[in-house]
Amino acid sequence: MIKDELKILEELLGEDYHENIPMKRHTTFKTGGNADIFICPQTTEALAESIKILSGSDYAFYIIGNGSNIIVPDSGIRGVVVSTKGLREITQNGNTLTVGAGVINAEAARFAENASLGGMEFLSGIPGTIGGAAVMNAGAYGHETKDIITKVTYVTKKGEIKEIAASEVGYGYRTSLFTKSDHVVVSAEFGLYEKDKEEISAYTKDLNQRRRDKQPLNYPSAGSVFKRPEGYFAGKLIEDSGLKGYRIGGAMVSEKHAGFIINYDNATSDDILNLIKHVQDVVYEKFGVMLEREIKILGSM
């Protein structure tokens, strides 16, 4: 008798295999229903084997990192959520850091600071993981991941572990080869440079203070909700539409930064999605600009 793929997966992963897990625990919006299965492999090899098993099954599966750029429907996820948060190794070779996909951006930036390596400071204030940064070309304050990334290691749907030079990834504004494929990033290599640790620390503190001053960090959110439209700033369009502080249910357009939607008061995912749609409609009506979501909806509605 052939074993069901989920049984094989459970045997492979042991305590890293979970059933009926509330996704609000795994998203920065703190919303969303339960996932049928949630797995968190601790090694690249275990992740690769898991992807291979799932790709050969009839089960839908979804890849997440820190859950900082996603919305999970209130109805939950039918299928398997694969988290890369277990891939947390950082290794240093001179001015080069190789960082696991599950490492939080701020942790990678802190490692670089302690090693007196410059170039990663901008990542310290970006929520999410290195895997997400490598996929989406995360950026802030005039810097982007593509400026420092040199190589990416990824897993194919067949479970093959491959490497690609960053120059071949096709990085653009919040886009890359990985946003258009089924490949799963497992680590990234960064080329940094020697820099005085105190100088790095001072610059990082300045960036993070600017972030605290301008962003609603005291409420659950998923960062910037919309991509920057060509020739405009999403937050400015939303503010000029009179939508700061606008609420639907427990979701609210931040009064501090209109580009953010926050979980103000026990919001549901439906509250957030309805508010996103309302913002898009109002901005389009007033300015003729259709805002494109930066955050992704995980699973089917």
Point out the residues that are catalytic: 174, 224, 294
Distance in angstroms (rounded) separating the CA atoms of residues 270 and 276 = 10
Q: Report whether 137 contacts 175 (CB < 8 A).
A: yes
Closest CA relative to residue 218, chosen from 271, 246, 260, 178: 260
Lookup result for tokens 């120059």: 167
Burial class of residue 164 (count of CB atoms within 10 Å of its CB; 0-12, 13-18, 19+): middle
DSSP string, 30-58: ----EEEEEE--SSHHHHHHHHHHHHTSS
Q: Report whether 132 contacts 65 (CB < 8 A).
A: yes
CA distances (Å), origin 232, targets 26, 112, 258: 32, 34, 14
Backbone angles phi, psi at 272, to 5 degrees: -65, -45
Separation of CA 249 from chain center: 25
- Which pairing describes strands 61-64 and 77-83: parallel, antiparallel, or unpaired? parallel
Closest CA relative to residue 104, chosen from 90, 114, 91: 90
DSSP state of 169: S
